[in-house]
Amino acid sequence: MDTILQLINTIVNTEPFRAILYIVGMIIFVALNAAYLVLMERKVAGHVQLRPGPTENGPFGILQPMADGLKLMTKQLLIPDGVDPILFRIAPVLVMIPAIMGFVTIPFSDSIAARNMDIGILVVFAFATINVMGLLLGAWGSRNKYAVISAARVVSQNIAFEIPMLVIVVTMIMISGSMNLHTIVSQQSGGFWNWNLLNFTASPLMPAAFLILFTCMLAETNRAPFDIVEGESELVAGPFIEYSSMGFGLFFMGEYANIVIGCSLTTILFLGGWGCPFGLFPGIHWFLIKLYLLIFTVIWIRWTFPRTTFYGLLNLSWKVLIPISFVNLLITSAMLKVF
């Protein structure tokens, strides 16, 4: 699989073709993921709750996303009176485009990466933050006070959880010595004892750092148990209440695309990227296996726990996650100095 793609790469290595190939590939990957992750969520939810989930459309419900997509596209695109014309229309785009752009620097395997930048991590986080702005602009442009209240909450939630996430990422950069995602993964090659998750020579709190990054990733993408946005304002559906049909569809796809980016980052930083746990046959298949195991865990968590309150969420971030991540940073820098 890897060699075939390498062959294709060398044949079509002239710049325009390579870029176009990657653009088309990324968009197809994101679109397929966004569609089929919805199905995966419904099936996992069903089996956790002792029922089968969608089964009518195609065997095991394989064609269900097609039916959902068709339904969303044929609904009427309602634009309420008096909304801000530019902001209302641009907001879903602002949420979707950074999610796709975030895939630019993520290495799926040794040779499959759109661009191998030396500031890879920074690019991903730069794009991820635009997502929050998209939600806020959409809510403001909807001319609905409940949407503005929800969006204000989303912004404060996102800011509160960006801080521990970035502190952990800084810790990992310190350990690897470079921001290039390819280098970070290459340093974890070998068996699973080389993975950053079990890198106790750098810091004894590594598993805790993994948990903190995972939790922050859940909160950034507004997934349960932190889905105040979607569920808690039970009267009003959050910042995208005025959106219908494809506008809502784009927000939804953006959320699942963000989950995929978050899980890929966690795999790359902690779980060794495309490496095999026993060092035998590294390749893109291991990356995908680890990615989908993490996404399964995200869905599994959603259907097990109730929602936290808004103040509980902020308390968790400011009083628990930030102190522990700073302590981890100090310990790591001390141990790196010593060893």
- Give the footprint of another protein on this chain (CB under 8 A): 44-52, 55, 149, 211, 224-225, 227, 231-232, 234-235, 300-301, 303-310, 312, 320
DSSP-based three-state secondary structure for 229: helix
For residue 303, the minimal CB distance to another protein (Å) is: 5
User: Is residue 107 within 8 Å of 275, Cβ to Cβ?
Assistant: no
For residue 333, the minimal CB distance to another protein (Å) is: 22
User: Is residue 241 within 8 Å of 142, Cβ to Cβ?
Assistant: yes
State phi, psi for 117 to the nearest 5 degrees.
Answer: -80, 155
> In DSSP terms, which residues pair with 278 in a beta bridge?
191
* Position 45, amino acid: A
Tell me how far apart the alpha carbons of residues 281 and 130 are, in angstroms, rounded to a whole number.
Answer: 37
Q: Using the minimum distance from each CB to another protein, give the nearer residue, 11 or 235.
A: 235
For residue 149, the minimal CB distance to another protein (Å) is: 7
Which residue in this structure is represented by tokens 């810790």? 171
Q: What is the CA radius of gyration of the chain?
A: 21
Q: Using the minimum distance from each CB to another protein, give the nearer residue, 18 or 307.
A: 307
For residue 47, the minimal CB distance to another protein (Å) is: 5
For residue 237, the minimal CB distance to another protein (Å) is: 11
Q: Using the minimum distance from each CB to another protein, give the nearer residue, 44 or 135.
A: 44
Q: How many residues appear in the chain?
A: 339
Q: Which residues contact 257 (CB under 8 A, 6 or more apart)?
A: 30, 33, 34, 96, 99, 100, 102
For residue 16, the minimal CB distance to another protein (Å) is: 47
254-292 burial, b at 16+ Cβ within 10 Å, e below that, comes to bbbbbbbbbbbbbbbbbbbbbbbbeeeebbbebbeebbb
User: Is residue 222 within 8 Å of 255, Cβ to Cβ?
Assistant: yes
Q: Using the minimum distance from each CB to another protein, give the nearer residue, 31 or 45.
A: 45
For residue 235, the minimal CB distance to another protein (Å) is: 7
End-to-end CA distance of the chain: 40
Q: Using the minimum distance from each CB to another protein, give the nearer residue, 83 or 208.
A: 208
Q: Using the minimum distance from each CB to another protein, give the nearer residue, 124 or 206.
A: 206
Q: Using the minimum distance from each CB to another protein, give the nearer residue, 114 or 216.
A: 216
Q: Which residues contact 53 (CB under 8 A, 6 or more apart)?
A: 42, 43, 44, 45, 46, 47, 61
Q: Which residues contact 264 (CB under 8 A, 6 or more apart)?
A: 106, 287, 291
Q: Using the minimum distance from each CB to another protein, give the nearer residue, 85 or 231.
A: 231
For residue 43, the minimal CB distance to another protein (Å) is: 10
Q: Using the minimum distance from each CB to another protein, give the nearer residue, 85 or 312.
A: 312
